């Protein structure tokens, strides 16, 4: 299998916003916790992005790799019970530039709403998948929130 | 955050200041220059031996090779 490169839209967006970033190549990983392991960083410093379908479109929930998404909290935040995890078929259609399971919080999609768990903001830097399972993106958490226009919301199971 | 003003060359060092109390600066050596101004990015090797592609922000200063650190002495 050949290494899939980071989608150009992702680095273009960061450079347009003059945001410092780091791209880190690594062996293929398919979970955020495995990504943390190969990069030798703590799981709470790695973010996973979960894409959800809602009546108002896609929502990307970004939380530490070490945490589990609380759908109940999310439904309360969004004010609707009609919130579901996006299926692989839906993800493939909506985000063709990204590998399945490697959708980052920014670019792609159609103005998706982004929610970031404040636990991530306890770290200055955050690592996330760069649209592929073989490259990670590292940037300041404050820049991630700024460039995505994210709202902070408690998304993790207690 | 705005981009660092000075372009770097292979062998130069990039110094990224810490933003929080107690956080030390990070230093990387430029191994390869990628892209073109104003969006140059660099393949770098960090102090801990890790290599990555880095796109500097305003908190990064490029020290030209004349300021390169002394090689580590193996004990």
Q: What is the CATH number of the domain that holds A83?
A: 3.90.960.10
Angle at A144 between CA A141 and CA A148, to 5 degrees: 150
Give CA–CA dist A92/A100, Å, rounded: 6
Position A61 in a domain: yes
* pLDDT of A6 higher than 90: no
Mean pLDDT for B55-68 is: 82
All residues at 6 or more sequence positions from A135 whose CB lies less than 8 Å from its CB, including other chains: A3, A5, A6, A23, A24, A25, A26, A129
Q: Is A46 contained in some domain?
A: yes
Q: How far is residue A114's CA from residue A137's CA, in Å, rounded to a whole number?
A: 17
**A102 Cα distance to chain centroid:** 8
- Residue A51 inside a domain? The answer is yes
Q: What pairs with residue A53 in β-bridges?
A: A58, A84
Question: What is the pTM for the complete model shown?
Answer: 0.84
CA-based nearest distance A50→chain B, Å: 26
Q: Is B1 exposed, middle or buried (0-12, 13-18, 19+ CB in 10 A)?
A: middle
Q: What is the pLDDT of residue A44?
A: 92
Give the pLDDT band (50/70/90) at residue B20.
low
Q: How close is the nearest chain A Cα to the Cα of B66, in Å?
A: 25
Closest CA to B60 of A11, A45, A128, B1: B1
ipTM here: 0.76
With a CB cutoff of 8 Å and minimum separation 6, the contacts of B8 are: B14, B30, B33, B40, B42, B62, B64
- Whether A81 is in a domain gets the answer yes
Give the model's pLDDT for residue A110.
83
Q: How far apart are CA B45 and CA B32, in angstroms?
A: 10
Contact across the interface for B23 and A22, Cβ inside 8 Å = no
pLDDT in tens, A61-103: 999 999 999 999 999 999 999 999 999 999 999 999 999 999 9
CB of A15 within 8 Å of a chain B CB? The answer is yes
CB contact under 8 A, A23 and B52: yes
Interface check for A98 against chain B (CB to CB < 8 A): the answer is no
- Counted domains in chain A: 1
Tens digits of residue pLDDT in A13-28: 999 998 999 999 999 9
Q: For chain A, what percent of residues have pLDDT higher than 70?
A: 97
* Predicted pLDDT of residue B58: 83
To the nearest whole Å, the CA of A20 is away from the closest chain B CA by 4
Any idea where the domains of chain B sit in the sequence?
Answer: 13-63
Query: Mean of the per-residue pLDDT values for chain A?
Result: 92
pLDDT in the model for residue A111 = 87
- Kindly state whether residue A115 falls inside one of the protein's structural domains: yes
Q: What is the domain extent for residue A19?
A: 8-138
């Amino acid at each position: 299998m050949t290494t899939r490169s980071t989608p150009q839209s992702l680095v273009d967006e960061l450079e347009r916003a003059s945001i410092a970033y780091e791209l880190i190549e690594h062996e293929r990983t398919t979970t955020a916790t495995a990504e943390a392991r190969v990069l030798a960083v703590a799981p709470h410093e790695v973010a996973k992005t979960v894409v959800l379908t809602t009546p108002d479109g896609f929502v990307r929930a970004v939380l530490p790799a070490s945490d589990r998404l609380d759908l109940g909290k999310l439904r309360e935040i969004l004010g609707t019970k009609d919130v579901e995890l996006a299926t692989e078929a839906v993800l493939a259609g909506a985000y063709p530039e990204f590998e399945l399971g490697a959708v980052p919080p920014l670019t792609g999609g159609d103005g998706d709403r982004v929610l970031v768990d404040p636990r991530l903001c306890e770290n200055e830097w955050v690592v996330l998948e760069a649209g592929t399972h073989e490259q990670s993106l590292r940037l300041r958490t404050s820049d991630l929130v700024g460039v995505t226009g994210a709202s902070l919301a408690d998304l993790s199971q207690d | 955050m705005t981009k660092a003003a000075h372009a770097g060359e292979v062998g130069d060092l990039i110094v990224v200041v810490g933003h929080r109390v107690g956080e030390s600066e990070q230093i990387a050596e430029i191994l390869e220059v990628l892209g073109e101004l104003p969006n140059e990015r660099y393949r770098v090797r960090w102090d801990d031996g890790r290599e990555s592609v880095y796109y500097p922000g305003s908190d990064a200063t490029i020290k030209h090779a004349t300021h390169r650190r002394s090689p580590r002495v193996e004990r």
